[in-house]
Structure 1
Amino acid sequence: EGFGLPVLEAMACGCPVICSNVTSLPEVAGKAALFVEPKDEEAIAEAIRRIVEDDNLRQSLAQKGVQRAALFDWRKTVVETVLVYREIASWLPNIKLAL
């Protein structure tokens, strides 16, 4: 997963998220997840234990996750993508976009 869509999907469903601290995931998850080294089994187990045992942490991550996921809107993404395409097309003479 290059962008982190599964992280956002889990957040949108109100699930507390534990994810890797590499690639795009820290940027996507913001402060709404627990981050672990992807190959550190002890850190992963500890993060799971924390979420299972700490009701406040679990509820806080779930609430922050729903709020974080709401920032990512497909309509906004479409509009921004079309604007990028139009900008690039404006650099090229004789190119017309059907957007």
Structure 2
Amino acid sequence: MELAWFLGSRDLIVESDSVDALRMLQQRSTKSGLFTIISHIFQLCNKDWRIDFSKVDRRNNGVADGLAKLASDASFDVMTFDESPIGMEAG
């Protein structure tokens, strides 16, 4: 979300396969040990932009899963892509 803001995006769709995470974000709940992360997300949500949170089925979220696996094998640097990485094209 920070990167999207920095790059000038002002209309964002955030997808998650976690019903619990989406519920916490939609209800502005800070339960659990994720208070710092959730609070930071709430601060980002209060910026002047439109953000929609959407549930996506894990089985249909292969691109995000592939990117997460790619990130787990990489350093902590931010990676951006102008095109889909090979083998991760949305179908």
Structure exhibiting the larger radius of gyration computed from Cα positions: 1
TM-score (norm 2): 0.27
TM-score (norm 1): 0.25
